[in-house]
Chain A
Amino acid sequence: MLEQLLEALRPRPRSTQELRQLLNLSAGQIELALLQLRRGGYVDLALPNQGACQPGCGVCSLKSFCPSQQEPEPSWLVGQETWRLTDKALSRVAPPA
């Protein structure tokens, strides 16, 4: 499940709700998995000044970090965390074929 989750985050950051629907997981499953991955340094919150994210992008701070900058911005939902892969994860998850 963890590998699937990392794979789902590879194209772009996603909210918890998006990940839950994409992988068909329960709220408890997705939360526990994200907590574990975060502790292992594989994922982190996508926020201004976090990782490579810059504050200059306005509400969406992800553009300069996002591996696919041309993609539309992730949906910012009130009460929903948005997750991104860390450098550690990006170096471990295999690039797309």
Chain B
Amino acid sequence: MKVLRVATVGNPNVGKSSLINAIAGSNLQVGNWPGTTVDRLSISFELAGVHVDWVDLPGTYSLAGAASEESITRRELLESPPDVIVNVVDAGNLERNLGLTLELSELGLPMVVVLNLVDEARAHGIEVDPRKLSDCMGVEVVATVASTGEGCDQVKQSLTRATPARLLVEYPDNLRAALAELGESSPWRGLTMLSEEVPGLPASERARQLRAQLELAQDPFLSIAEARLKMARHLTSDVESRVDQGVSRSEKIDRLLLHPWLGLPCFLLGMLGVFRFTYLFSAPWIEFLDVLKGVLGGWVASLNFPPLLQSFLVSGVIGGAGTVAAFSPVLFLLYLAMAFLEASGLLARTTFLFDQVMKWVGLPGRSLIPLLLGFGCNVPAVYSTRILPNLGDRLRVSLAIPFTACSARLTVFVLFTAVFFPKNAPYVVLGLYLLGLLLGLGTAILTRRYVPQDSDRTGIMELPPYRFPSWKATVRQAWLRTRSFLKDAAGPILGAVLLVWFLHQVPSGKPENSLYAGVSRALTVPLGPLGIHDWRLAGALMPGFIAKEVVVGTLGVSFLGEDVIQPCGLVDGAQQIAVGLGMALKNTLLAVPQMLGAPELPGDESPSGLSAAIARACDSAGALAYMVFLLLYTPCVATVAALRSEFGNRWALFSVFWQMGVAWLAGWLTFLAMNHA
């Protein structure tokens, strides 16, 4: 079968990954901010009898330069040249995008230009004529809206017809003469060697001599850049028509959201809205899954298995892993809210809003993006720091990320706040998230002196346009992340929870006399000043080092082991499920007016099951201190591994011990403050 190697190249945030997803049906991460793709990603698929190897390259403004996105793209195009370059261009910002397009055209490789986001361009009164651009450049130009799939079939068809672009830029005579004398394989290579030193593309001795001669008249870099700018301007004026529409909708919204005084309250209100939404709409479904868990336990209990096997199934499998699964509605709704914020462009706005704050911390504004991504999962957030060009900035942001509350920790917050702070749960959780963010930034400030600075280069921030997200894509992204959480975590969680159950049985079969209980009781000594005296609470923190998701599962095993499971029949269980489902649907509808500010209706608030057991284990001061400690203590193994692979053992170990110390101190202060309040 014929193999076609394709590479997508374009400026940041022009929809390269969206285009591949639309064509190949893949699930590459997409987002409405520059730097969503930080590394070379590749996928393979069949297309009309052709095997396509498609490489998604990080967004870049140029092929030369030393930044990681430029190096990755250049290496790919020079060392393993693709059969076709798909150059994705933002139709609403043609002139700036053409800078890279002109560089690509000088590589001499077959190319297709994809004019993406034509819908947004039209909304801004901008029309680009793809046929005219195609005539000028000598390559196929396809207009697309990758998010809806419009034009993607044409892109597929154009791949096999791709041809090298016409050389358009008119360079000064002395440069052309030098280029001809150098005789490099492509004009881009020759021009780059004549104008600058680029990593991975060493200039020959002759090129250096010619550069020195050219510099006597003018820096060849400036001559080349000026010629390309001139051509980009010429092409744009030929193919683009604009109707001035005055102040755009994005600008009007930004006047409020990015206002120096109103912006921060808007941000806090937005975050509070996210947590209220997550809480109000997930609570009915958590209750339903709890009923489902109880019924499953009852069915197993009615089968009269031997006591040890029954304990394994009810307490270990259903009580442990089932407790984690019961919190999946919270995660889905949080991911849904985050996906909406990302796709709409609101998340990227926060980087501008906090730009001055971040500058005060000594970090670029865009470092807030990895920190906010840490609310989902700390591991990809650490890797996403690659959008920052400065190694020192990357390290400091990565040390701050584990302080941000990942979604796994949210499950414990939901459980504890529902029991101890039922009226103020969203506010308590918002406070915990802000505390984590503040302590993370504090760590970034404190480590400023001690981290290496490899360069003084700082990334440029771009303000992406507002886009009303497609509901289909938003729900799909939230579902994929929830599924990934459950799928990736299922093995380790189940393994860890079953190990915890096993340790509860050793040596006597009685959890309170087990080896696990002994070690857990020893842990209550250092955790005592934080108001944590119950061995089951202290013990659940141990497997949390493996994965924070396991904490809630371990609490399930430890606390529910003592509960007497009532056996139930098939019909009785099915009735309970049906009633639970009805209640969940009814309460979801009731949550709509509450989300809009209506007061909560009085209901049965007495905790049951795991919640009731936890309510007996500590008071509200101890519960808050426990949540603060859980928020801040040592990162999970996967995050430590990510820190180690990116920055080495020393900084990974520093993160573990530093966070443990900060967590204990913050937990202790919280307990003291709560008792004196």
Contacts and interface: CB of A to CB of B under 8 A. Distances in A.
A36 B352 CA distance: 23
Interface string A24-53: 001111011101111110101101111100
Given A35-B96, A39-B65, A40-B196, A78 B229 contact: no
Contacts of B230: 1
B181 to A, nearest CB: 23
B458 interface: yes
A61 B196 CA distance: 30
Given A59-B356, A79-B463, A32 B458 contact: no
A92 to B, nearest CB: 7
A2 B362 contact: no
Interface string B458-483: 10110100000000000000000000
Interface string B428-461: 0000000000000000000000000000111011
A29 B229 contact: yes
B99 A35 contact: yes
A55 interface: yes
B252 to A, nearest CB: 14
A47 B353 CA distance: 16
Contacts of B93: 27-28, 31
Interface in B28-67: 61-62, 64-65
B222 A48 contact: no
A81 B608 CA distance: 55
B95 interface: yes
B219 interface: yes
A20 to B, nearest CB: 12
A49 B456 CA distance: 8
B99 A32 contact: yes
B534 interface: no
A74 to B, nearest CB: 14
A89 to B, nearest CB: 10
The majority secondary structure among interface residues of chain B is helix
B202 to A, nearest CB: 18
B236 interface: yes
A78 B196 contact: no
Interface string B218-243: 01011001101110110010000000
Contacts of B228: 36
A78 B258 contact: yes
B254 interface: yes
A92 B99 contact: no
B233 A81 contact: no
A78 B96 contact: no
Nearest to A49: B362
A61 B222 CA distance: 29
Interface residues of A, number: 32
Contacts of A50: 456, 458
Chain B interface size band reads 35 or more
A32 B65 contact: no
B94 interface: yes
A19 B61 CA distance: 20
A27 B244 CA distance: 13
B10 interface: no
Contacts of A49: 362, 456
Contacts of B94: 28
A59 to B, nearest CB: 7
Nearest to A26: B95
A31 B233 CA distance: 12
A40 B263 contact: no
- Residue of B96, B232, B356, B460 with most chain A CB atoms under a 10 A cut-off: B96
B249 to A, nearest CB: 16
B362 A55 contact: yes
B456 A40 contact: no
A61 to B, nearest CB: 8
Interface string B342-380: 000000000011011001101010000000000000000
Given A47-B359, A76-B356, A29 B95 contact: yes
A50 to B, nearest CB: 5
A32 B93 CA distance: 10
Nearest to B222: A2
A28 B460 CA distance: 15
Contacts of A76: 356
A1 B226 contact: yes
A78 B353 CA distance: 7
A63 B356 CA distance: 17
A37 B353 contact: no
B602 interface: no
Interface in B525-551: none
A79 B62 contact: no
Interface string A70-87: 000000101101000000
B460 A78 contact: no
B460 A79 contact: no
Contacts of B183: none
Contacts of A3: 222
Contact of B64 (A26, A39, A78): A39
B454 to A, nearest CB: 13
B225 A40 contact: yes
B597 interface: no
B62 A35 contact: yes
Contacts of B306: none
B260 interface: yes
Interface in B248-277: 254, 258, 260, 263
24 contacts: A1-B229, A2-B225, A28-B94, A28-B96, A28-B232, A32-B99, A32-B229, A33-B229, A35-B61, A36-B62, A36-B99, A37-B225, A39-B61, A39-B62, A40-B219, A40-B225, A44-B456, A49-B362, A49-B456, A51-B456, A55-B362, A59-B356, A79-B352, A81-B461
Leading 7 A-B pairs by shortest Cβ distance = A28-B95, A36-B225, A28-B96, A40-B221, A32-B96, A31-B96, A32-B99
Given A2-B229, A79-B258, 13 more contacts: A28-B93, A28-B94, A28-B95, A28-B236, A29-B229, A36-B229, A40-B222, A42-B222, A49-B362, A55-B362, A61-B359, A78-B356, A92-B219
Interface of B: 61-62, 64-65, 93-96, 98-99, 196, 219, 221-222, 225-226, 228-230, 232-233, 236, 254, 258, 260, 263, 352-353, 355-356, 359-360, 362, 364, 456-458, 460-461, 463
